[in-house]
Amino acid sequence: INYKKVANATGYQIQYSLYSNFKSVKTIKLTKNSITKKTITKLKRNKKYFVRIRSYVVQNKKTTYSSWTKSKKAKTK
């Protein structure tokens, strides 16, 4: 997964699922703003996955999330 860097973000959340409505979703939390790509491992072969991402900011011990991006389809090999 490659994505553009958000200037004031603390980190990112990535969600992926086999279903377009993100039923039984798995979430990855990236705590560094400098990371702009992530490889997801241990996926099922020859399946379509739906992926979305959002950024977050932590200020005064309170976390504020952006909205999710539109989901993208990706097929594993």
| Three-state DSSP state, 75 | strand
Report the DSSP beta bridge partners of residue 57.
64
d(CA 17, CA 60): 32
Helix H segments across 1-77? Answer: none
pTM of the predicted structure, to 2 decimals: 0.90
Question: pLDDT tens-digit profile of 12-35?
Answer: 999 999 999 999 999 999 999 998
Question: pLDDT tens-digit profile of 37-63?
Answer: 999 999 999 999 999 999 999 999 999
Where do the DSSP E strands lie in the chain? 11-17, 26-30, 48-59, 62-65, 72-75
d(CA 47, CA 55): 26
Contact 55, 12 (CB under 8 A): yes
